[in-house]
């Protein structure tokens, strides 16, 4: 098989997975019509994302449905490969499964070395016939990025900067998929924008994988603990749609093939009546 086509710009949305299913389906169909290349949904701490991938495949015609990312602790490789094998060929061509090892504080006593765990999961998928072209990894550190390039279509980093994109491209080489997530806060008021950013970072800034990656990118422990303005401005495109467009271009210039935009509407997502007009505004500028 070949790597699914995802275009240059996509939408990352927890609402498409966890929001009202009817409204999510209507929104996905509109995003497809608007021309977004891929719709990304989270895997989270359960095993239900494949069913939502299939639901979204059923209400779209062209866009690829991707996961960012399936939690490998919540899936068995053989079962995941069997689910993929049961899709029809047109659905397989629009399915990209991002895989992640999650985080020690979430997994608890089961936690193992991330690289070993991911290699073992990929071995299981390969043995069960899952094509690597329909997989990517949630790579932040250099070794996981390298593994993604060796064993899958490429890498889908989350909460990163264009500087990280450039570093990842140097590791991957020119031919592997690099599809960073980019948070977008379409709020002109600085205080309101900071409040949205703080809500979005509240959970992630306590997790070692993200903290270590931000330290590698040159942020201090103090900046991370305080969610400094410098950290927020680096991780989120804040302001009007032109700021989002500029950040997308910065990632593309740094070597990204695709940038998936997550519009931050609140710490636990936003309603579709809020998001859909914003997605339309972004499409006018970016597609």
Q: What range does the domain containing 178 cover? A: 9-286
Return d(Cα 87, Cα 266) in angstroms, integer. Answer: 34
Tell me the mean pLDDT in the region 95-110.
72
In a domain, 261, yes or no: yes
In a domain, 1, yes or no: no
Beta-bridge partner residues of 269: 267
Tokens of 151: 């064993």
At 184 the pLDDT is 97
CATH of the domain at 129: 3.20.20.30
Query: Mind giving me the DSSP string for 162-224?
Result: HHHHHHHHHHH-TTSEE--EEEEE---SHHHHHHHHHHHHTTGGGSHHHHHHHHHTT--HHHH
pLDDT higher than 60, residue 88: yes
pLDDT tens sequence across 35-54:
999 999 999 778 999 999 99
In a domain, 146, yes or no: yes
pLDDT higher than 80, residue 107: no
Tell me the mean pLDDT in the region 3-15.
97
In a domain, 179, yes or no: yes
Tokens of 31: 């995003």
pLDDT higher than 70, residue 222: yes
In a domain, 244, yes or no: yes
In a domain, 108, yes or no: yes
Return d(Cα 244, Cα 19) in angstroms, integer. Answer: 24
Tokens of 227: 């969610």
In a domain, 59, yes or no: yes
pLDDT tens sequence across 109-152:
565 577 889 999 999 999 999 999 999 999 999 999 999 999 99
In a domain, 56, yes or no: yes
Contact 61, 93 (CB under 8 A): no
Domain tally for the chain? 1
Backbone angles phi, psi at 236, to 5 degrees: -125, 145
Beta-bridge partner residues of 154: 177
Tokens of 233: 């401005």
């Amino acid at each position: 098989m070949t790597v699914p086509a995802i275009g240059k710009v996509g939408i990352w949305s927890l609402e498409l997975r966890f929001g009202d299913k009817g409204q999510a389906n209507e929104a996905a169909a509109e995003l497809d019509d608007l021309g977004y290349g891929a719709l990304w949904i989270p895997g989270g701490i359960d095993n239900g994302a494949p069913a939502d991938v299939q639901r979204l495949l059923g209400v779209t015609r062209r866009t690829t449905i991707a996961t960012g990312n399936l939690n490998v602790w919540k899936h068995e490789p053989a079962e995941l490969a069997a689910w993929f094998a049961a899709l029809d060929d047109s659905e397989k061509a629009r399915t990209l499964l991002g895989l992640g090892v999650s985080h020690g504080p979430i997994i608890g006593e089961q936690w193992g070395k991330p690289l070993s765990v991911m290699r073992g999961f990929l071995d299981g998928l390969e043995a069960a016939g899952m094509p690597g072209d329909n997989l990517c990894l949630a790579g932040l550190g250099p070794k996981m990025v390298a593994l993604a390039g060796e064993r899958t279509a490429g890498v889908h980093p989350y909460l990163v900067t264009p500087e990280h994109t450039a570093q990842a491209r140097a590791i991957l080489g020119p031919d592997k998929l690099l599809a960073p997530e980019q948070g977008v806060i379409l709020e002109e008021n600085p205080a309101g924008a900071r409040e949205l950013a703080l809500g979005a970072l509240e959970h992630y800034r306590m997790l070692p994988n993200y903290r270590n990656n931000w330290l590698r990118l040159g942020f201090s422990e103090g900046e991370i603990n305080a969610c400094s303005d410098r950290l927020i401005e680096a991780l989120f495109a804040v302001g009007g749609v032109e700021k989002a467009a500029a950040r997308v271009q910065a990632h593309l210039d740094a070597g990204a093939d695709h940038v998936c935009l997550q519009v931050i509407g609140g710490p636990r997502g936003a309603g579709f009546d809020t998001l859909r007009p914003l997605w339309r505004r972004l499409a006018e500028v970016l597609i």
